[in-house]
Amino acid sequence: MSGTYARKLLRVNLSTGEIKTEEIPDKLLRDYIGGRGLGAYLLSRELPPEADPLGPENVLVFATGPLTGTPAPTGGRYMVLGKSPLTGLIASSNSGGHFGAELKAAGFDLVVLESRASEPVYLSIKDGQAELKPADHLWGLDTHETVSRLLEDFGDPGAKVACIGPAGENLVRFACIINDRHRAAGRSGVGAIMGAKRLKAIVVRGHKRYQAPEEKVFMDFVRQKTDILRRDPITGEGLPKLGTKVLDSIINAHGLYPTRNFQTGVFEATEEVSGEALVEKGYLKKNRGCYACPIRCGRVTELPTGHKGEGPEYESGWSLGACCGVKDLIAITEANYLCNRLGLDTISCGVTIACAMELYEKGHLPKEDLAGGPELRFGSSEAIIYYTHALARRQGLGDRLAEGALRLAQAYGHPELAMVVKGQELPAYDPRGAQGHALQYATSNRGGCHVRGYLIAPEILGVPEKLDPQETAGKAQWVKIFQDLTAVIDSTGLCLFTSFALGAEDYAQLLSAATGFNYTVEEMLLCGERIWNLERLFNLKAGLDPSKDTLPDRFLQEPLPEGPQKGAVVRLSEMLPEYYRERGWDPSGRPTEEKLRELGLI
């Protein structure tokens, strides 16, 4: 009984051109759900952990979940997995839009891409049939140009495209994959993996629809959960009205809005770049939703320059704004558009440029290295535009910026100025302002990340209950629960934003009705724990030293200099041992044999 699964995997060898379809056993679907979980399982079995992330032995997986392509609210998500060129750990990036639903409708739960093409290619999938085609005419195009050309070639305007831009082609370590022109599998450098494989794009079209074993029960749950989301103040009001940029003023008011490369947690110009400002200045034209989404948090914007696009979202607007000290909303939005067209993770892009700005202002990065580019000073609108272009094409200093903040700072002898965890740039919350979120940063399986256990919800937003952000006791248990539940959500094909309004019981009901597997909440969360531990095992085999479960010294030793949480530092040593105990790991951060046996991993 497999309900809304296609139960099929498409395997593509880019070197030989061989394409074949494989059945997915029900036991794997039940134990790993789909999406992130099933993708991680495949990587653990098929990808040598010591593989070069940019070498042909890396495996790239596109994975949908059982709720992808169904009427379940936000059922349009998919994952992209491989070994990250940025961190050397597991890459597991999530995207929305309509591509994931179309891939499912084309007849596949997963696409597994192996080896490397000798020349640029793209993969065409239509109603269960797949073909590799030359992409020389697409190489060098930006993501928007690529989509337009591919839809013309494909001859069906209903097709959906996921592709890379020049950043992926040039192996920028934080290049992303763009689908539907504006949605991104954004983090960990999955776009660089595509570029290394010389795979420019995947275009899909499908007409297959899936039915739950008990369709009426499933649709009753769909209506019930959709109603909950529409009535919730965050998913039914805040996000539809202002998108994720509803957070700018909230996070700044709480004193953890990272400014000028995380030197402080308060940005004096927040009102000029906030979600409210996007509306008041007339740049926001309408909101837009992904497949089956009642929240519709996407921002369709247009600038006085005539340029149009989507965004910036909260993280993008912050990284290219406050993190770089920039208060020019037009420049921030233009840089965001550029990232989408060039195929760049906006978070890593902005934080890397901010790192360069601090290096430059402190005299560690000499002026001659700018190669004629503008000075890297905090607040420079010109700099964020110029260096976004330069790093995507690896021109001048852009060649070093393309390596990410850590490698950049190391090259100039000051790795302490790279605001990263395990090599990945941190997102838009200063960890000194939220102890649980800080622990989540330190322990995330994919490095600096806010969407693997969003403790901002209880610590700042009060969802599902309000926690003291500076309390450390009990935070380890909260982090574990949030991490396990997030692994489940990422595996189902739903959006993480649903967790502002839905609880574990809601997900178990939707998942059970769709698949026929009848999960209890405990069984479902055990799947999440199994996925988390499997990712940890992969990272350890890939060379992760558990001592990397930490944060930059800035957060551990330098108190926040101002704002409502002035004087705070992260008290990681109070939480990490407790976290390892909650996880059933040994004191060094390695899963015990007993835990692995409990999870069926040995």
Q: Which pLDDT score is estimated for 90?
A: 98
pLDDT tens-place string over residues 232-245: 999 999 999 999 99
Q: Which pLDDT score is estimated for 103?
A: 98
Sequence-separated contacts (24+) of 458-466 with Cβ below 8 Å: 459/434, 459/435, 460/250, 460/251, 460/254, 460/256, 460/433, 460/434, 461/234, 461/250, 461/500, 463/234, 463/500, 464/503
SS3 state of residue 234? helix
CB-CB contact of 14 with 199 (8 Å): yes
Average of per-residue pLDDT across 536-547? 97
- Other CB atoms closer than 10 Å to residue 30's CB: what's the count? 17
Q: Which pLDDT score is estimated for 129?
A: 97
To the nearest 10°, report the CA torsion of 229, 234, 235, 240: 140
- Paired strand residues for 81: 61, 92
Average of per-residue pLDDT across 379-408? 98
In the 3-class helix/strand/coil scheme, how is 496-542 assigned residue by residue? HHHHHCCCHHHHHHHHHHHHCCCCCHHHHHHHHHHHHHHHHHHHHHC
pLDDT band at 2 (very low <50, low <70, confident <90, very high): low
- Paired strand residues for 121: 134, 199
Average of per-residue pLDDT across 266-287? 96
Q: Which pLDDT score is estimated for 3?
A: 87
According to DSSP, the β-strands at 19-23 and 8-13 are: antiparallel
pLDDT tens-place string over residues 449-475: 999 999 999 999 999 999 999 999 999
Which residues have C-beta within 8 Å of that of residue 206, sequence separation ≥ 6?
102, 103, 104, 105, 106, 107, 125, 126, 127, 128
pLDDT band at 379 (very low <50, low <70, confident <90, very high): very high
Which residue bears the tokens 């070994």?
Answer: 83
pLDDT tens-place string over residues 75-128: 999 999 999 999 999 999 999 999 999 999 999 999 999 999 999 999 999 999
Measured between alpha carbons, how far is 446 from 238 in angstroms, rounded to an integer? 29
Q: Which pLDDT score is estimated for 487?
A: 98
Q: Which domains does the chain have, with CATH numbers?
A: 8-205 (3.60.9.10), 247-420 (1.10.569.10), 434-500+520-598 (1.10.599.10)
Please spell the DSSP secondary structure of 192-223, one letter per residue: HHHHHTTEEEEEEE-------TTHHHHHHHHH
Measured between alpha carbons, how far is 263 from 209 in angstroms, rounded to an integer? 51
Q: Is the pLDDT of residue 1 over 70?
A: no
Beta strands in 237-314 (DSSP E): 284-288, 298-302, 308-310
- Other CB atoms closer than 10 Å to residue 286's CB: what's the count? 9
Q: Which pLDDT score is estimated for 443?
A: 98
Q: Which pLDDT score is estimated for 315?
A: 97
Which residues have C-beta within 8 Å of that of residue 166, sequence separation ≥ 6?
140, 142, 342, 343, 392, 393
> Rounded to whole angstroms, what are the CA distances from 149 to 120, 154, 248, 520, 535?
15, 9, 37, 47, 37
SS3 state of residue 90? strand
Which residues have C-beta within 8 Å of that of residue 365, sequence separation ≥ 6?
356, 359, 376, 412
- Host H or E run for residue 239: helix 239-242
- How many helices (H) and strands (E) are present in the chain, helices listed first? 25, 17
pTM score > 0.85 for this model?
A: yes
CB-CB contact of 63 with 39 (8 Å): yes
